[in-house]
Amino acid sequence: MKPEPEILRVFLLVNDALRASGIPHVLIGELASNLWVSAEEVHPTDDVDFAVAGLVPDPVGEVVTRLQRRGIRDFGPFSIEDILPDETPKMRFRKLTACGVKVDFVFPRDATFAKSILRRSRNAMIRRRTVRVASPEDIFLLKSIAGRLKDLAAMAALARRPGFDRAYVRRWARSLGTLRLTRRFLE
């Protein structure tokens, strides 16, 4: 696992590149989840995840170009992967490795859900910088789509948050086909 400062540095670099490119995005995944849960429920992570919405032909290529302009040359073994074997029909993925940190770009296939993620995102402070982070409910839903065993603890922690909007999650879980998995966290 990469030291946290390196993950945060890469997050901020990629976030700035996406913002400068005008690509609509929010932080998701474990890094985002950790912002919404108590310190006892934080889970370590070794990557950075972004939800990207809209018709973006190649955000990874744009990010790489912008990082290279800023002098970042360490793309490890340069890696851009598209549509992984473990892809769900509900999401499309693009991946890259920058400075030894994996960065995932997730494109929800449901355009209305993608817009909802962006609309409901919130400001958070990371290293004295304001960044957009998906809401706890949307992170929960994205983790339910992935359906991985490692995401269950984060889903439980997010669902315990005061003010967690269970009605919103139920509506989207039904639409996204994940209601069966999410039900246990919503009761």
> Residue 2 has what pLDDT?
47
Worst-scoring range by mean pLDDT, 28-42, 43-57, 62-76, 98-112? 62-76
Q: Which CATH class is domain 4-134?
A: alpha beta
pLDDT at 79 over 70: no
Query: Any idea where the domains of the chain sit in the sequence?
Result: 4-134
Q: What is the mean pLDDT of residues 124-130?
A: 89
Q: How many CB atoms lie within 10 A of CB 128?
A: 5
E strand map for the chain: 25-28, 47-52, 80-82, 91-98, 101-108, 122-126, 129-133
Vertex 110: Cα angle to 61 and 63 (nearest 5): 15
With bands split at pLDDT 50, 70 and 90, how would you rate the model's confidence at 41?
Answer: confident
- Give the pLDDT confidence of 134-183 residue by residue, as tens digits: 999 999 999 998 888 889 999 999 999 999 999 999 999 999 999 999 99
Q: Is the pLDDT of residue 82 over 60?
A: no
CA atoms within 13 A on the CB side of 111: 3
